[in-house]
Structure formats: C-alpha cells, structure tokens
Structure 1
C-alpha cells in the first residue's frame, strides 16, 4: 500500500472527528492497561498477556513499571478517571520493591518470588524510564513524584551520564562497581526522551541543563545519520565506534538486534523535532526528514506486504521481517510531528495510511489494546514480544497529533495545550 491521497489525508490531523477518534482510542488503551497495577502493598506494574491479564511468571519489570507510571500520569492529565490510582500503584513499585536500597538505583526486575534480578545489572535504558516516570508523575501532581524524580536524576547523573562524551554509558553490574564496555543508541534515545521531559518538571535553570544534555546526545545521532545514509548504528564499543556486525548470528535479539532498526529512525525523527521546538538548531529538521524517509524506503512493505519490517542490513535489505506494533506507532507520531513542523502533505498521507493499517491489522477490538507483533504475513505472532506488555507506544501515538512539539507530552497536557 502506498500513502493515501493528500487531498483527503492532509485534513486528518486537524479534523475534530479524527481527534475524537484519537481520544476514544486513548481511553480504550487506558482501560486495558489499568489491569497492570499491582496491590499497593507491593506496587509496580505487571506485564500483561493478550487479554490484559497480569502475567505473574514475568515478575515486575522496571521499564514496564516506569512506562506505566508515565502512561497513567498522562491519563490523569487528560482527566480520565481511574488513572491516578494506577500511576500511584506503579510508582510505589519504583520507590519500593524495585529500588536497590543497598547499592542504589533500580533492579531490572523482581521475580514473582520477590527475588531481585541481579544478573541483568543496572541499565541506562531502565533508569531513563525511571527518570521519565518521575518527571511525568511530578508534572501530574502525584504524591511521591518529586522524590522519585530527584532520586532518579541524581542516579542517572552519577552513574550513567558521561559528561566528557555527552552520552550515556549503558550498563553496570548490580553493585555499580563495573561498567560494561557496550554503548547503545536505544538507551541514549530513551535518555533523550526522559531529559526533555525532566526539563519541564524541574526549575528553569536545571531544565536548561537537561536540554543541553539532550542536545549533546542528539548531535552524535545527527552525525551518525549523515555518515550512514540515515540507517542509524545501534551498537557501539566503549570508544563509540559502531559495532555494525553485533549479533549478526542472532539477529532477532530482544534488546540488541543486528543491523538497523527503522522504528528507531522514526522515533529519533520525532525526538529531534521535539528538541528543535525547544531549542532551534541547524540540521535537526533536515536529519528528521532523512531518518523518516530512510525508514519508509527501507522498511515499509519492503517484502511486498504492508507493515514495517523490524530490522534491515546496512544496504537496507530486510533481516527480521516481523512487524512490531511499536514501529507503526512511532511512524504515526513521526509523521504527525513532521507534518506539524513542515506542513508537507506527504507526511499527512503517511499518517493516515499507517492509522488505516493499525486499524486493520494491529488494533484488537476483541481482546483489547494492540497486537504487539505480527509475522511477515501480518498474522499475530509472539517470537519477540509475547502478550501485550504495556500501552506506552500506542497511547503516545494518540497524543502527539493533538499536542504541540514543545514542551513534551506531560507538560503540554498540564498547560492545557490539547487540541
């Protein structure tokens, strides 16, 4: 499928009817995700199965818990009743069972037995989401939000932010004694999202410093996009030299897949536009367009069927042809952001095309939420992401088209900017 006709599609982002549809979808997602909240005695958020039931076998995971705080803080800011208790329950997990009181920071997960996962170490990916949760909870006025934000930002600055390079390190052992040599763009991407959100949750002077950090990290991404024809390397060594062949022998790795990840190109495109709206700079819009166009050219219907392939090699050929729901949500959000920034109808065309695809293939009107993974023939699959873990990506896709590019989503909702 190609993009829809611009004569009609360009009206979607400003259509009151479409915006009502987005609002309905946001509320539907929040209703599904509310089941993640664990009892207040333990707190945290559960990993959800295909029917929205907590999967106890997966324990409590920090990244899912933090994304639940963020999502339901957004729901509370939207004025949706019932969201605040879910945000608070998830936040209690971050201040309680998931917090490492001995060594600091947050465990990656705690098993259903109550035993922390010490083997996974302490990751910038997890801690970026804890920062995001603290910022969103603070902006939403949730009790415990400011304390979580203060602890998360201090831990991030002490352990993960490398002031010399202007980029984060990736993973420590659980005692914060030894840092791994791997560096990753995924952790950096979510760090940038968190930093830009933190900027609106702290005092103005501190906020400017967080935007500075985000801008330094983004400058590296801009250079990488230029050096690699818009296909961003994901994996690096300790000197930040790209490790282009990492995991070539297991290309479907859950967190470190081989090759380029077009969905991350789309996600970075949107983040560059958020940053540019906060602090205009050369090359940000140009690079956002480059990343978007490369992702579409390489990954959309690359094997003849609609949908984005998950990964490609460095020539743009598909590697993992599975379709992930989060890639479509980030495509939708990037297209909305680029249309808002440039006014070019082609971005509205893709925006409408991908919402149509989501409705046909991904949005589950029977069991709820979105199917998180499809096979190359667009049939439900569970090779990388079984179940429907959380609503973070899909919920944001319903909000980005209705909010300005700056400030980030929680602060824009707080400021009454929803359209």
Structure 2
C-alpha cells in the first residue's frame, strides 16, 4: 500500500472532481448505495431495518429501531429527492412519520433512542440522537416535507432546554427517559454531530442562533482542546469539560483513546462552518488542514492502508480495525480542502483514498461498503455486524460533486439554481 505522492505531475494535476468520468463514477457509486439500502431497509411496520452483508434485515421480526438509523435514512432520502432519485419521497415520508410517532416521547418530551412495534424500548435521551433528528428535519424542510417545520421547532426547543449549556458553550450528553438524571459524561461525538445539524438547521431556516451555537461548540472542542493537543481530538470529558484520557466506554459510539476518523469529520465541518460564518474565523481553516494532516500522519496505516479505528495518547494504534466511515469522511474532507487549498497534498490523498475505497471497501459483489476490515484488510465483524447505514458512504460519493459552500443538501440546491440561471 503506497501513500499519496507528495506532488502531482503537471500532466495529471487537475482535480478528479472536475473530470467527467470521475463524476460519472461518483454518481454511479451513489446510485449503487441507494440500490442496496433503499428497498431492503424499509420496514413495512415503521422505521428501517439494519442490514447484513447481503442486504437482508437484521434483528428478527420486531427489531429495535435506533434513532440514528431512522434519522440518517431520512437525511439520505432527502438527498435522493434533491438529486432526483425516484422512490426517495416515499422513503422520506416513511421515516419522518416514524420519528414523529414512535421516537418522539409524547409523555416526557424529546426523542427516545430506541423504539419497536410496541413502543419505546430504550428511552434514554441523548444529544447524539437529537442532533440527527435536527439534521433529518432540516434536510426534510429543504424538500418541503409537511412535518419538517414542527419537528425542527420541537427538537430545537428540547435541545435548548435540556442539552445546550450556555456557560460551557457545548451540549450536555445524556439523560434518562424522564429527564430526572443527567449523566456526568460529556462527549465530543455528540457535539460534533450537533455542529453538523446546527449548520443544516441554519441553512434551512436562516436562524443565526444555530450558527452561533455551532461556532461555540467548535471553539470548545477544537480550538480549546484539539489544537493544544497537537490537533488530536479528545473524545471524552467530565461534567466540568476536563479531558478524561482514561475513559472506557461503548466501542462503537464512545471508544477509548482518540479516533482519527473524527479528526477527519471535524476537518470538513470546520471548513463548512468557516464558509457559513462568512469566512471570518480564520483559525478554522488552519485547524482543518492540520486535523487532516495529523489523521494521515498518525492514523493511516502506512503498511497496509486504511485508518486505524483508535489510537492511544502515545499515538499508537489501539483498535487496529479499519472501518468504512473514516475513509468516507476523509474523502469528503479532502474534497473540501482541495476546493480552497492548492497544495497537491489534499488532492493526492483524495485519489489515494478513492483507490483504497475502490479496492478494499466497496463490496462490488453484493453492494454497499464493507463496514470493517482487519489490519491486513480482510473483512471482519468484531465491532460492526453487516452494513450499518448509507449515510457516510453516500456523502463521500456526493460531496465532491457539489460546490464546497456548506452542507451537501444546501450545495445541491445551490448547484440546481446555478444550472437554472444558465438556462
């Protein structure tokens, strides 16, 4: 596995995203993802199935629907509708109704983590889940779904009342179902996805309060913590926002150590936030570049390829598995950075990342992307069973196709308006 070349030869230096064949390749990959996920995921009793490697439903006849699965499918269905993928509207409506009728806790307020055919199964109220409700509703508003405005209003009220900490400029993490217990844990993952959702809500509504909250979270997580830590993102904090380097938690959502995939995710989100904030917070572009470089320097396996899932605080790999989502996020970040930085480094890595995805992650035989590889790149399923969702991979395919001006959904609309003006 070779690293990206330091510089591109002049004969091959223009960005791939400008080339017709590459653009066709990206849209074809996006279409294959929709083909794999759309039909089999839809649970006729409400919500969506999670799928195994062959695209068959997991979890038996009445599986628990986790809120991030429901909401991400809604977000991706909204993207499908915006780009003109037939079938997306029905999928979007199916998911929006499930969020509103099943995940929403009509007694206590807020949105429960897990539901099934009989009602709420896991009633925990998590900032992570509420972030994705806000993202789904904001994306649905852009395609005119009738539930979108009331869902945005409802989840925003909950976020402001329960999760947002004005003094700390960040989100609290988790309560029990009736809000009577707030866990002392504070996490960057929920705050990172809330930043993504707040930007989408700002674009959908024009309300600058969403943008200012996103900027304060970025300041807390990145400027005050990641930058002094050598552009390594701390994942876990106590209730006073002191870094907890010894935290041991859920390997999927709150893994120990630090997670290079999140450095990459922040790299792109910071670029989006810089643009939406009228490019006034210049520290964000510097941080975005350095987060990307550090993820490659420390997180990329320079022997086999792929990003190690987690590192310890001495920069040694802890969980050596290579997951699908960090390479997806790296592609989106490289595309964004390439749009604003002429350094060949980002375009070279964009190509290397797509080489890796094409040769090792995309499941050409069955569809979808393999969720987990061992260190030597053979498929495994220690952490993730099956193919968890369409969200990360779809955005990797589509972000490079649209202007690097904000969230993907808003960029698709902007590109559409530009085409209309030219005609």
Q: Same fold (TM over 0.5)?
A: yes
1:253 corresponds to 2:251:
yes
Length, aligned pairs only: 408
CA apart distance, 1:10: 4.2
CA apart distance, 1:406: 2.3
Separation in 2, partners of 1:347, 1:253: 30
Separation in 2, partners of 1:231, 1:158: 31
1:74 corresponds to 2:72:
no
CA apart distance, 1:103: 0.7
Which one is further off, 391-400 or 403-412?
403-412
- Residue 357 of structure 1 is matched in structure 2 by 356
- Residue 23 of structure 2 is matched in structure 1 by 19
Tell me which of 50, 65, 90 is aligned to 1:47. 50
1:117-196 → structure 2 map (5 Å cutoff): 117-118=121-122, 121-196=124-199
Indicate conservation of the 8 Å contact 2:169/2:217, yes or no.
Answer: yes
RMSD: 1.6
Separation in 2, partners of 1:9, 1:232: 32
- Residue 341 of structure 2 is matched in structure 1 by 342
Structure 1 segments (4+ residues) deviating >4 Å = none
Separation in 2, partners of 1:143, 1:389: 28
- Residue 371 of structure 2 is matched in structure 1 by 372
Q: Deviations over 1:389-412 (max 9, x none)?
A: 210000001121122232311122
- Residue 211 of structure 2 is matched in structure 1 by 211
Separation in 2, partners of 1:239, 1:116: 31
1:237-252 → structure 2 map (5 Å cutoff): 237-247=238-248
Q: Deviations over 1:141-175 (max 9, x none)?
A: 22322222221222111111111211000001111
Gaps of 5+ in 1: none
Gaps of 5+ in 2: none
CA apart distance, 1:177: 1.6
1:201 is paired with a residue whose SS is helix
Separation in 2, partners of 1:414, 1:104: 33
Indicate conservation of the 8 Å contact 2:102/2:119, yes or no.
Answer: no
Separation in 2, partners of 1:72, 1:118: 25
Separation in 1, partners of 2:104, 2:244: 32
- Residue 386 of structure 2 is matched in structure 1 by 387
Separation in 2, partners of 1:332, 1:159: 34
2:161 is paired with a residue whose SS is helix
Indicate conservation of the 8 Å contact 1:69/1:86, yes or no.
Answer: yes
Indicate conservation of the 8 Å contact 2:260/2:299, yes or no.
Answer: yes
Separation in 1, partners of 2:8, 2:91: 40
Which one is further off, 55-64 or 382-391?
55-64
Separation in 2, partners of 1:375, 1:275: 34
- Residue 319 of structure 1 is matched in structure 2 by 318
Q: Deviations over 1:331-389 (max 9, x none)?
A: 11111111111122110100000101101101011111100111111111111111112
Indicate conservation of the 8 Å contact 2:402/2:415, yes or no.
Answer: no
- Residue 276 of structure 2 is matched in structure 1 by 278
Separation in 2, partners of 1:407, 1:226: 23
Separation in 1, partners of 2:228, 2:73: 36
CA apart distance, 1:301: 1.4
